[in-house]
Structure 1
Amino acid sequence: MSPVSAARPVAVVGGGPVGMTAAATLAHAGLPVVLVEQSDEPRPDWRASTFHAATLEALETIDITAQMHAEGLVVPTYQFRDRRDGLIAEFDFRLLADATRFPYRLQLNQQHLVRMLHERLQGDPNVQLRLGTRLTGLRIAPSGPVLALQGPDGPTELAASYVIGADGPRSTVRAALGIAFDGYTYPERFAITSTSVDLQGLLPDLGHVNYVADPEQWLFILRTPESWRVVWPVPEGVSDEDATNPERLQRLLQGIAPYAPGYPVIDHQVYGVHQRVAATFRVGPVLLAGDAAHINSPIGGVGLNSGIHDAMDAARRLARIVRHGADPEPELDAYDRIRRTVAVEYVQADTQRNTDRLRERDEAVRRRHQDDMRAIAADPDKARDYIRRVSLLESVERFGIGRPPAELELEDVG
């Protein structure tokens, strides 16, 4: 592998929150970076909005969390509810006050982190931003990876030392390497609708973050600084156009809480949901991160978080290779093993379980889920263990983020 230099920088493909975090972490370590993003400006996607404790701890190392808190909403509790039975259990992240400086969820739409990091990277001499530029090909030559790009000035090539592919579920980087992306697609799609109406004013016992079980139409209701957001399933056979029809959106929102003036809708989108993991997260000097490596149900709010952990894990390993002469092979092998293990054992397993719990149709199983959640919430030790896992503190304590390979030798990692 070629050494990192201005002539052969680290290339980050994808300018979403994962790619921006990777670039910012590399630049913070003093490595030259080229970020390639096909959009002309930072992505305005509203989809993810939760930052967990372990992620805030990691982002604190690149001095961005103060700005995030200035714009975000601190939410120390969340609720598990049932549409028929109301509140089932409430979980309080403040039980982790002795374990983290961030015993809460921070609600902040992901595009704000992208904006913050983009503004920082624009003024960083270690970073070259190539917006409006599309990756059209990638090959690994004996001297290192070479990216074929199509940008405002036509086709060009970029010689890189390493590549972090953070270019989403339809990753061109992953496709160029021929990496399988096995898993499945949910039969239903998910719809997100945002409204400026204060749902807590209509439902006073509603939490700021709520998982609402129902066999016909489960809900995920959460507060962000800009709005209240509701996620619900779109049945098979309902087109995207019908799913976002204003009359249908109004009817569904009125079904949550009647509001005579009518709900203003300030944002809505429909998207497919998948549970997929790349067969490998690494081919030579090329690493996959975020949705390029693993995609999952959003129920639990860990997809964005685990992607940021991928980005920082990769960047820390590359910095150790470049700055401290670490052996590249053990470092990059550890990235593949650790991040794929976390994706399978934590992200995929937990998000699937969360989604199944919300949409369970068997009444006996539904009641058993309710009893389980009540029992966990009522026992401080069980509740603490539960929120340690859902906040990703457990996986980080087990594997770290960018922990050196020698420290991982005793871990039972797949």
Structure 2
Amino acid sequence: MTADAGPAPAPGASVLVAGAGPVGLTAALVLARAGVAVTVLEAGTSLAAESRASTFHPPTLEMLAELGVVDGLLARGLVARTFQYRDRHSGPVAELDLALLRADTPYPYRVQCEQSKLTPLLLRALTGLPHTRVAFGARVCGVRQDGHGVTVELADGRTVRGGHLLAADGAHSAVRHALGVAFAGMTYPERFLVASLDEDLTAHLPGLAPIAYVLDPDEWLVLLRTPDHWRVLLPTADGVPDDVELARLPDRLARLRTDAGAGASAPWRVAHASLYRVHQRVAAAFRHGRVLLCGDAAHVNNPLGGMGMNSGIHDAVLLGTALAAVVHGEPGAEAALDRAAADRRACALTYVGAQAHRNWERLRARDPRLRAEVVADLRATAADPARARRALLRSSMIASLRPVS
């Protein structure tokens, strides 16, 4: 494998991959391991250091194990066997233990680790595989296809040719725009503010699990432990400038402590904070001739439940495997690729998007009767092992990939 700034394809390249994030590199590795020549086109000059996604679910760990990178991820990540729902004022409401899935998966836990720690592992795994290339500084700006292949136009005027293109170039996908693919859906009424804290929140919030969804009618939030930080996700009203909201962050964090009865203390140290808008959208189709859409290029959802990156990696593995069969000319492979693309779109619509949106509605419930019903349901689920297992099969995404009983 070569990794450089040139746009030239690998010798005999069969598949081009747009984007060297976790989804694009996973797809490239799947294809390369299947004996397909691959060229990855990455707009940036290096792998991205930004890490919004930080949760890896059990079936994703299974897939990464098949690709030979899960041990490296486990060494860099934090194993979270439980997650909880909390009331902002009274504390824990219900806690679920992923150990209930030990008969369903060899990884009955989540791994908390920034996605920027996975991408170097994927890139390294490509090393030594033949006919594989990663080109940095290769920004895709146009796509043309014909009966024999796909031509990708780069921002610097050069072109790259391949038999197929797998687009994993993010929510603002240049490939999707070039194809004119509809991306229907909704935008959430609030922005999300994510802050990374150099603090041990367990010292301030008694009984805090590594992942906590905090219910509150006025200001719900999510607390996530990563190897390096605690992350706090806060909903933020639209219409207020980012710098004003970021300036208010210390006061909002202080209220979180006092609301939980922790009392006043020195301000929490904020290592990094950012605001972003959240959408729920799905592309009209994931296959367009010789072009496939994966990950955020194909579907986006709110981050509650950590399903975005995970479902994108699932896209990469399942579509990449089906595409490899097409490249090798296996009988029935074209129809199988059509089915895989349709299945992944159905999953984005009926499972990932629906589950993430339900998480959002549950956290922000305002009506007192509805809030009481939510809390009662969570407690009843946690208290019943069979019911808890069924809930965990959904939240872990196992149920999105295979039949469960």
Residues 51-74 of structure 1, C-alpha deviation per residue, up to 9 Å, x if partnerless? 000110111111000000001000
1:256 aligns to 2:261 (yes or no): no
Contact 1:377 1:383 in 2 (8 A): yes
C-alpha distance in 2, partners of 1:184/1:94? 35
Tell me which residue corresponds to 2:236: 234
Tell me which residue corresponds to 2:176: 174
Contact 2:81 2:109 in 1 (8 A): yes
Residues 187-219 of structure 1, C-alpha deviation per residue, up to 9 Å, x if partnerless? 210010011110001123111100001111111
Tell me which residue corresponds to 1:199: 201
1:359 aligns to 2:364 (yes or no): yes
C-alpha distance in 2, partners of 1:15/1:50? 19
Single out whichever of 6-15 and 271-280 deviates more from structure 2: 6-15
Report the CA distance between 1:353 and its aligned residue: 0.3
Q: 1:25 aligns with which of 10, 21, 30?
A: 30
Q: 1:282 aligns with which of 273, 282, 287?
A: 287
Tell me which residue corresponds to 1:407: none
Give the secondary structure class of the aligned counterpart of 1:397: coil
C-alpha distance in 2, partners of 1:251/1:97? 42
Q: How does 1:7-406 map to 2 (within 5 A)?
A: 7-150=12-155, 154-245=156-247, 248-257=248-257, 258=263, 260-323=265-328, 325-398=330-403
Residues matched between the structures, number: 391
C-alpha distance in 1, partners of 2:132/2:120? 15
Unaligned runs of 5+ in 1: 400-414
Report the CA distance between 1:6 and its aligned residue: 3.3
Give the secondary structure class of the aligned counterpart of 1:398: coil
C-alpha distance in 2, partners of 1:177/1:335? 20
Contact 1:122 1:129 in 2 (8 A): no
C-alpha distance in 1, partners of 2:331/2:343? 18
Contact 2:69 2:125 in 1 (8 A): no
Unaligned runs of 5+ in 2: 1-8, 258-262
Give the secondary structure class of the aligned counterpart of 2:233: strand
Residues 199-251 of structure 1, C-alpha deviation per residue, up to 9 Å, x if partnerless? 00112311110000111111100100000000010112222121222xx2211
Using a 3 Å threshold, how does the CA distance of structure 1 residues 365 and 385 change in structure 2: closer, same or farther?
A: same
Residues 289-344 of structure 1, C-alpha deviation per residue, up to 9 Å, x if partnerless? 00011100100011110000000011111222334624342122112211011101
Q: Identity over aligned residues, as a percent?
A: 42
C-alpha distance in 2, partners of 1:217/1:308? 31
C-alpha distance in 2, partners of 1:376/1:260? 36
Give the secondary structure class of the aligned counterpart of 2:402: helix
Contact 1:7 1:159 in 2 (8 A): no
Give the secondary structure class of the aligned counterpart of 2:118: helix
Report the CA distance between 1:158 and its aligned residue: 1.2
C-alpha distance in 2, partners of 1:251/1:118? 41
Give the secondary structure class of the aligned counterpart of 1:197: coil
Contact 2:15 2:39 in 1 (8 A): yes
C-alpha distance in 2, partners of 1:360/1:211? 13
Using a 3 Å threshold, how does the CA distance of structure 1 residues 112 and 43 change in structure 2: closer, same or farther?
A: same
C-alpha distance in 2, partners of 1:386/1:361? 23
Single out whichever of 171-180 and 220-229 deviates more from structure 2: 171-180
TM-score under structure 1 normalisation? 0.91
Q: CA RMSD in A?
A: 1.6
C-alpha distance in 1, partners of 2:106/2:400? 17
Contact 1:135 1:147 in 2 (8 A): yes
Contact 1:42 1:118 in 2 (8 A): no
C-alpha distance in 1, partners of 2:64/2:51? 20
C-alpha distance in 1, partners of 2:76/2:192? 27
Report the CA distance between 1:267 and its aligned residue: 1.5
C-alpha distance in 1, partners of 2:245/2:21? 26
